[in-house]
Chain A
Amino acid sequence: MDVLQVILSGLLLGGVYALFAAGLNMIFGVMRVINLAHGELMMLGAYITFFLFSQAGVNPLLSIPLSAVALLVLGVLLQFTLVERVVNQPLLSSLLLTFGLSTLMMGIALNLWTSNFRSVAWSPLTGSWDVAGLAVSKSRLVAFAIALLVTGATWLFLKKSIFGKAIRATSQHAEVAQICGIDVRRVRLATFGLGSAMAAISGSLIAMIFTISPEMGRMFIGKAFAIIVLGGLGSFAGTFVGALLLGTSETLAAYYTDTQLAEAVAYAVLLLVLLIRPSGLFGRAE
């Protein structure tokens, strides 16, 4: 029963990971930019929820759309002013640029909000429900449900809507997409905005589960890389499965060994997949 408990809590966490990693994967797919600042976008989302809750008493669930919209705007601005300039440049330019942004945002957050750990203690979501003998953490279940909803909505948007199809076309082949009349520049703006909003929502959800700090982004970006590589770069479904797998294996590793080694799981998975099957579980070989 204990193991089931552990697996369940890992799966629930995996849902939130999926939302975070899906945004990163989408940005990479569309513009071949590895956004090293993605974790900091998540951190900003988490802090928006935290401050709205602690300063204005806003219900954390209601603050989620607010943080999503705020980061959507920030994401579009970042893409418009900075990231657009390194698209189609050597890989190193975009890596360095986004790393610089990440350091910049983290530095600003450290100065404004100190490195103290904060948490959102919202009473309706503390404690757990008893489901068939398993204790299900309320905050994790709600976070999982919301993450699932948002990821599913994004997936539908990409699958069904015209603009979603434009995004997928650009990610398959940017030049051909352009020839077919797709404004790839606008697609890139929308993608970075959307990816940032997804990061923000996952940040808001993480704020309800864990403690947050300005340095939290660095921890999650490593996991996101592992998930994306595991699922296959550019594969939406792969990201989701990869996230659930990573969430579960992390909590299992923490249960059987110790929390320190659990941290190694993400990196070990990442390296192993890259060495054995670089295209991931669902990816196409490049």
Chain B
Amino acid sequence: MHHAYVDQLSAMSSPVHRLDPRTKIICTLAFCGIVVSVPADRLALLAWCVPPLCAALAVSRLPLLYFLKRCLLLSPFVATVLVFFPFTQHSGTEVARVGPLHVYSGGLLMSAVLAARFLCTVLAALILACTTPFAALLRGLEKFRVPRMFIMVLSFLYRYLFVLVDESDRMRRARDSRSPRPGGAAALRAAPGMIGMLFIRTYDRSDRVYSAMLARGFDGTVRTLDELHFHVADAAVLAGFAAYFIAVFIVAR
């Protein structure tokens, strides 16, 4: 399974990995909220958001290069917006002129701020994903009153994600090895059959899964052995996080 990399890093061990998922969820959400609500003209405040991120990255011993690559892969939507700003936001002074287009410093600044915010929020979300096994993340979310049914749907989704992605990979490989020009219009004709077949196999699989669950005494609730534990380290991280940003706001004000 070559796509196992998706959740591979969360099986590592580091102080960040060992934190309670609830702590990490709170910190990540608060961090993203702070990054997004910093006004665009307060660059100093935004810069102060970087050290906690670096600290988390360093302590968790995650591969930095891999992270930056993932961020770049995720950016086409943001990139489109970033490209527009320098040409359409006519504030500040004129920096350059490219043919009929004028580039203004205000627009450049806006683009830079957006890019920085994007990197910070995506990195924070990826750190959360890569230091917390998905099952633990779900247990954390359950404690935050996310509907039980939704949690169960998510855990089934995660359990069968790789199975079905493998299935669709095999179908794609079969299609490409049988078509003279991969990527030609013939792929369109094959598509409904492929997706329909994938659905039918999925549907049958869910029947088998349900029968297997009934055979093991499923009564509508899922019981697990591992409970979440809120340690002293969690309290310390939360307190440190809060103290850091309160200090930053007081100093930068």
Partners in one complex: no
